[in-house]
Structure 1
Amino acid sequence: MDSRSSGGAASQEPGTDADRISTPITADLLRGALDLERTEHGVLPHRLPARARAQCADGQLSMAESQPSGVRLVLRTRATTVELDTLPTKMAYRGAPPRPDGVYDLLVDGELAARTSVAGGNLRIVDMSTGSVETRTGPVGTARFSGLSAEAKDLEIWLPYNESTQLVELRTDAPVEVAPDRGRRVWLHHGSSISHGSNAAGPTTTWPALAASRGGVELTNLGLGGSALLDPFTARALRDTPADLISLKLGINLVNTDLMRLRAFTPAVHGFLDTVREGHPDTPLLVVSPIHCPIHEDTPGPSVPEFENLEAGELTFRAGGDPAERAAGKLTLNVIREELSRIVKQRAAEDPSLHYLDGRELYGEADTAELPLPDRLHPDAATHHRIGERFAERVFGAGGPFAGDD
């Protein structure tokens, strides 16, 4: 890839303090994004294509798909210093303490080498009691990694999973080229905020990123916080995205939002699978039901936020439904698991590449005593590790639906 230089810097030796080389941030340097939007500041990676975004004006979806979970810059270089200017958009809750800045992870030849954050940026302040949103603009910042080896190496800069991130400029002290294709299988995953990364320590330690690393695959993560809702445009995005392996973790957001009843759920799942299969007729396809979540195992949604300890930074949730409403078709996690299992079993008779995994194998009732969900909905960093390790073992391991040929 050609590199633009400033003041003849392209000929400098790595590690000097001379003018840095500025390299255009183009789609061939990015993995994990389905679209790249030009902005006044640079480029904004999206995890849903423009056509899908145009079909839904929901603010939660817009925020989630523009947060680059699993999106990373991948390059080969001898640079000892790498600087990435970005304009993040961060989230805050009115009345709560500021949230920590998002994390940028640097991998060198596949190993985590450094972490940093970018201060400043835009801020979206959400009032949870009214739903109103205030946006405050802020400055561009820099994620800087230095002291790297001057040898040729593959670098990956994983972007924060919880901050929309406009990429402004990439600077290095040696030329940059597109990293070579390592021939690894591509895993396309769709799920809820847990798949998105909620409460993970960093972008390479969300459970899908951990599972992908252990499974030796390239991740495209369409985990969309609050937005795994069987939307047809998401199914079409999955259909049209190249992949060697596909997984769909479905259920919890349908309970969170109290979006549909069992009568609508069953055909919606069939329709979602039909659409995905239009583009991937024989690809290994895994349907994963929800992990254990005590408040919604047998109690329908919606999930209701509790604000009592918000000033201390604690936001928790409770189930807003009544267990008796299951008789009217309201969804609970146990209802969803039973129906997903039945649907997959029915379809697998004619689709041997379709598989089912009960999410409680990843995090079950016994795990809640040791690693309870801090807000009653989302796992903490340690639980992301447990889920990722178990997924890798059960799915990528010997005998699993995504096991390799060797």
Structure 2
Amino acid sequence: MSNGDLRNTTPVTAELLRGALELEHTARGVLPHRIPSWARARGADAQLAMAETQPSGVRLKFRSRATAVELDTVPTKRVYAGLPPRPDGVYELLVDGSPAGRGRVGGGDTLTVDMTTGATENRPGEVGTLGFTGLPARAKDVEIWLPHDETTELVALRTDAPVEPVVETGRRVWLHHGSSISHGSDAAGPTSTWPAFAATTAGVELINLGLGGGALLDPFTARTLRETPADLISVKVGINLVNADLMRRRALAPAVHGFLDTVRDGHPSAPLLVVSPVHCPIHEDTPGPSFPDFTELGGGKPRFRAAGDPAERENGKLTLNVIREELERIVRQRAVHDPNLHYLDGRELYGAADFEELPLPDQLHPDAAAHRRIGERFHRLVLTADGPFADRS
């Protein structure tokens, strides 16, 4: 179908987007953000700035009789110095909730990153176009899930029939915060990250604040959770605290309490789930920090290694087992006065036996099959009839 047949151009507005907390108007279009500007101003961190613009869980959703859809975007391609090129991000189309197509957009801006020094270089590029045709000629809900790991400016939406926003009724909103695993690192696509898989299986609306390298108990993240309307809330923390060697055991409990206190200020009675880290052998009993090891590549990516010494636990350095002990103790203590607060050991989602079957390719991040397993287990343990997020209405 030619562009001349796509006569309906619809501005991309917040009414058509799910999963973004803010839209920034740029010279070329709009840029979805998963952390609002007031919070971003409190965290001058390049990694967080990159992660929160990668639209994990963000999707266009509209109702239309259109049989053809085009979306102009400007993706930002990440290039890591000394490593093979990354594949282009995946867009996924759903029609009335069912998969109906996948696509990629070439071109765009380029961000070159030197992982050894942290230096970056930006190079502007051209607008690219994603197209889907052959959609059923009836009124239907159309969703386009944006690449979970590729910053994406939205320039124009064109269709061969008018579109209108979808008014949600009765769907509960699940607000989730976590690390790169929650963000979706190494997932097969945006609907295959473990939170997206669990959410779509359960029929809940996902707001995914999984932030690669950014689950660090930052107060501005807690305030973001506090200010975001939601029915269900989960916080998965631990691995980034070890990766970054950010704090010692003395600081962990007050930081967790403060984070949960802030969330509870805005959501005093919503089901709130604290999830500890999944199994990760390099950090179970060895502190961080973590460093990429370029001498051994797995699938064209560096493997990570733990640079700490297990003996440093005696001086208060954090490991995953230490963090699990503290999180379970904190939740047990608070739950006496907060019956809607719950704890889930992350090893119930992905444990030692899972690592033997589906090892972490880079020693930190699950692959596509493991994402699905984690999503299936989270759905079963948390979102079904016996779980803390079960719909008991």
- Note whether the superposition's TM-score is higher than 0.5: yes
Is 2:245 the partner of 1:245? no
Aligned partners of 2:6 and 2:68 also within 8 Å: no
Aligned to 1:88: 75
- Kindly indicate whether residue 150 of structure 2 is the aligned counterpart of residue 134 of structure 1: no
Deviation at 1:377, TM superposition (A): 0.1
2:325 matched residue in structure 1? 338
Structure 1 pair 16/273, CA: closer, same or farther in 2 (3 Å)?
Answer: closer
Q: Which of the residues 350, 364, 379 maps onto 1:377?
A: 364
Q: Which of 242, 260, 272 is 1:273 aligned to? A: 260
1:288 aligns with 275
The counterpart of 2:381, out of the listed 379, 394, 401, is 394
Check conservation: 1:109, 1:153, Cα contact below 8 A.
Answer: yes
Secondary structure of the structure 2 residue equivalent to 1:219: strand
> Structure 2: where are the runs of 5+ without partners?
none
Is contact 2:298-2:362 (8 Å) kept? no
Residue 48 (structure 1) aligns with: 35
Decide whether aligned partners of structure 1 residues 19 and 400 sit closer, same or farther in structure 2, where only a CA change above 3 A counts: closer
Shift, 1:312, TM fit: 6.9
Write out per-residue CA displacement over residues 172-224 of structure 1, whole angstroms, 9 at most, x where no aligned residue: 00000001213210000000000000000000000000000122100000000
Match of 1:233 among 191, 196, 220: 220
SS for the counterpart of 1:315 is strand
Corresponding position of 2:132: 145
Q: Cα deviation per residue 1:314-341 (whole Å; 9 max; x = unaligned)? A: 3100101000000110000000000000
The separation in 2 between residues aligned to 1:311 and 1:301, in whole angstroms, is: 21
Q: Which moved more, 1:173-182 or 1:28-37?
A: 173-182
Matched-pair contact (CA < 8 Å) for 1:348–1:355? yes
Partner of 2:188, secondary structure, is coil
Superposition TM-score, scaled by structure 1 size: 0.95
TM-aligned CA distance change 1:284 to 1:312, over 3 Å: closer
Secondary structure at the residue paired with 2:334? helix
Measure how far apart 1:98 and its partner are: 0.6
**Residue aligned with 1:399, SS:** coil
Structure-2-length-normalised TM-score: 0.98
* Equivalent in 312, 327, 340 of residue 325 of structure 1: 312
The reply on whether 1:219 has 2:219 as its aligned counterpart is: no
Aligned to 1:207: 194
Deviations 1:147-192 (A, max 9, x none): 1111110001000011111000000000000012132100000000
Q: Which residue type is aligned with residue 93 of structure 2?
A: L
What SS does structure 2 have at the residue aligned with 1:204?
Answer: coil
**Contact persistence 1:15–1:150 (CA under 8 A):** no
Contact 1:96 1:310 in 2 (8 A): no
Check if 1:305 corresponds to 2:308: no
Task: Encode CA deviations 1:279-301: one digit per residue, 9 max, x unaligned.
Answer: 00000000000000000000000
Task: Give the aligned partner of residue 3 of structure 1.
Answer: none
- Measure how far apart 1:18 and its partner are: 2.6
Letter in 2 for 1:277: R
2:105 aligns with one of 104, 110, 118: 118
Do the aligned partners of 2:146 and 2:190 also contact (CA within 8 Å) in 1?
yes
Matching residue within 178, 182, 192 for 1:191: 178
Q: Deviations over 1:346-378 (max 9, x none)?
A: 000000000000000000001111100000000
Contact 1:96 1:311 in 2 (8 A): no
Q: Give the CA deviation at 1:56.
A: 1.2
Matched, 1:71 2:58: yes
**CA-atom RMSD in angstroms:** 1.4
CA distances 1:73-107 after superposition (whole Å, capped 9, x unpaired) = 00000001100000011211111111000000000
Structure 1 partner of 2:146: 159
Aligned length: 393
